[in-house]
Structure 1
Amino acid sequence: MLPNEQSNIHDLTPENFQSILLEQSQTQLVLVFFWAQSIPESVELLPVVEHLAGQHLGKIILAKVDCESQRQIAMQFGVQAIPTLALVKEGQPIDGLAGQQTQAQVQEWLENHLPKPEDELLQQAQVLIAQEQYTQAYSPISQAIEIAPERVDIQKALIDVYVNTGKVAEAESLLSQIKMIDQDDYYQSLLAKLELAKEAADSPEIQALEQQIKDNPSDEMLPVKLAVALHQVQRNEEALAHLLGLMTRRLDAANGEARKILMDILQTLPDGDPLATKCRRRLYSLLY
């Protein structure tokens, strides 16, 4: 594929100026390269810039400006030297680089503005959180916090996922580490969610079942019912502990219902959840 056939490389003209610099720059960085056939340094740099753009498909749009045929665009940017590179984000120039550059210099300059891996993971998680797909959001936000544990925005997204996947203790612990300067509206909403989750976690139904188990310790269906009730309020670790406790005494406890409910709960846990891994190992040891 020739460079100018790549979907992220364009010749900037008055006709596509608004589409690229105002609209497409809302979601991707636009790298504007000002060059001219009569300036050898810019001609030499052109394939370098095209190569770098090709390496960052989905992250960068390259808009080439031939300053000999598109003088008006060059004037709008106030270009005083050729070659010149400019970065546009959300319709606004954010940085520039003038004069002859090596590929390494341009690459280093670009990397200061390109989304980092943790930013992309956070963005994935935020989309899923907005769709209330908290289980699916667990994997990308967990990866993001491993890369950048100091990032408060990542911490808050992780707390959101924790609260909505029943990890109340983890959410409370991480929330307590947020400094006052970072306690914005999102923090306040997380605090409210956490309090609601804690209140819902000890419902009258759960309290009644716990009392019934004390009064009827030989009834195997009661711990199963309690596990279901605990799962409904995201207290999955306790739910699984009750079921594994039953199965430790008898594998087919409650006519096999304990194992069925345990497997159902495991299916709802996020990919990579340490609780699921721990429970599966325990179950394997019971079965084999």
Structure 2
Amino acid sequence: MDSNTVLPTTSEHIVDITYDNAKQYLIDESAVRPVLVDFWADWCAPCKSLMPILEKLAVEYDGAFLLAKVNADALQDLAAQFGVQSLPTIMVMHNGQPVDGLQGAQPETAVRELLAKYLPAPWEAVVQEGLQKVEQGEGAEGVALLRGAYQDSGQDAQVAFALASGLILTRRLNDAAELLGTIKMVDQDAQYAQLMAQLELAQNAAKAPEITELEAQHEANPSDLDVVQALAAQYSQHQHNEEALVLLWNVLQKDLNAKDGELKRIYMDILATVGKGDPLAIRYQQKLYAMLY
């Protein structure tokens, strides 16, 4: 068989590799999506049992990966470059490099497990869709999608964080608090801390009067720290984080433990919500550190 002969394929996500297209499909395409390379030969009986499984999965996964079939007899140099020593051999290509593989006949479950390590989890797209709907004002539908993804993921912590974010944004604060209360200690990372800070600010804002009323109260009595606390929470909840930090800093620079440390804790919550790398957070962190040290 000529090494550049292309055999018929049954899907646009299945290609027969030749010397001419090897770079395109094995190197370039693997920077876009995983490429599963199948080294096979006509005389290899296990190859003939494995290939239908691979072709079935390529069609089922509908473009999540590319199946690239390499006739090891026709393209011996290519097979040698990949270190193929027995047939069938399948390899996963990612960013131009082989990163994993299997040798010999394999059951479908083994191939699925191999692919699962390099393909997005099926619920990841649902999470993104749910968050997008929440941001677009379709809160009920977005939260429903996030709840479904949370269950489908086996209550994965990262999906829980996405759901908690959606619950906070849609003011389902009790549900958010209950969900975050289930997060295991090992999963309580920076994102968890940020969500907890957002939740606390949202809870404070939910109990406070409107900003305009609070601003009037603060102007009439700037020393009323209850008003300062409520107004800072409202500012933050409405994304006026700089106004909140200015308000709190005006008090903290005079008394760092004002209101038994409550104002400093809110100040830190707002910094956590803004994010460590944000210039606003950096500026107000430096102000606080200068006082402390």
The TM-score, its normalising length taken from structure 1, stands at 0.59
Q: Percent identity?
A: 35
* Distance of aligned partners of 1:188 and 1:21 in 2 relative to their CA distance in 1, 3 Å threshold: farther
Amino acid at match of 1:154: V
1:262-277 matched pairs, under 5 angstroms: none
Moved more, 76-85 or 118-127: 118-127
2:109 maps to a residue whose letter is E
Question: Relative to structure 1, is the Cα distance of residues 164 and 97 closer, same or farther in structure 2, using a 3 angstrom cutoff?
Answer: same
**Deviation digits for residues 206-263 of structure 1, max 9, x if unmatched?**
997xxxxxxxxxxxxxxxxxxxxxxx98xxxxxxxxxxxxxxxxxxxxxxxxxxxxxx
For these two proteins, the number of residue pairs brought into alignment is 205
Change (3 A) 1:142 1:205: same
Following TM superposition, by how much is the alpha carbon of 1:78 offset from its aligned partner in structure 2, in angstroms? 1.0
1:194 lines up with 2:193 in the alignment? no
Question: What code does the residue aligned with 1:109 have?
Answer: A
Of the three residues 46, 52, 58, the one matched with 2:51 is 46
Q: Does 1:111 align with 2:112?
A: yes
CA distance in 1: counterparts of 2:28 and 2:142, whole angstroms: 28
CA distance in structure 2 between the aligned counterparts of 1:17 and 1:200, rounded to whole angstroms: 59
Tell me the residue number matched to 1:76.
81
Q: Could you tell me whether the CA contact under 8 Å between 2:35 and 2:93 is conserved in 1? A: yes
Measured after TM superposition, the shift of residue 90 of structure 1 is 5.0
Which residue does 1:29 correspond to in 2? 34
Matched residues in 2 for 1:187 and 1:22: separation? 38
Once residues 89 and 28 of structure 1 are traced to their aligned partners in structure 2, the CA distance between those partners, rounded to angstroms, is 7
Q: Distance in 2 between matches of 1:108 and 1:160?
A: 35
| Contact 2:157-2:183 at 8 Å conserved across structures | yes
What CA distance in whole angstroms lies between the structure 1 residues aligned with 2:8 and 2:53? Answer: 11
Q: Aligned partners of 2:72 and 2:93: how far apart in 1?
A: 18
Q: For the residues of structure 2 that align with 1:200 and 1:26, how far apart are their CA atoms?
A: 46
Counterparts of 2:27 and 2:132 in 1: how far apart (Å)?
A: 26
Shift in Å at residue 19 of structure 1?
A: 4.1
User: Please, which runs of 5 or more residues in structure 2 have no aligned partner?
Assistant: 1-6, 214-236, 239-293
Unaligned runs of 5+ in 1: 209-231, 234-288
How well do the aligned residues superpose, as a CA RMSD in angstroms?
Answer: 3.4
Pairing 1:1-288 to 2, within 5 Å after superposition:
4-26=9-31, 28-43=33-48, 45-101=50-106, 105=107, 107-115=108-116, 119-126=121-128, 128-129=130-131, 132-133=135-136, 135=139, 136-205=141-210
- Aligned residue for 1:59, secondary structure, equals coil
Cα shift readout 1:35-70 (whole Å, capped 9, x = no counterpart): 123434434543443233223323332100111232
Q: Is the 8 A contact 2:37 2:92 kept in 1?
A: yes
Q: What is the SS of the residue equivalent to 1:112?
A: helix
Find the residue that maps to 1:62 and give its secondary structure: strand
Distance in 1 (alpha carbons) for counterparts of 2:185 and 2:93: 34
Shift of 1:123: 2.9
Name the TM-score, length of structure 2 as normaliser: 0.58
User: Taking structure 1 as reference, are residues 49 and 120 closer, same or farther at Cα in structure 2, changes over 3 Å only?
Assistant: closer
The Cα of 1:168 is off from its aligned counterpart by 0.9
Report the CA distance between 1:108 and its aligned residue: 0.8
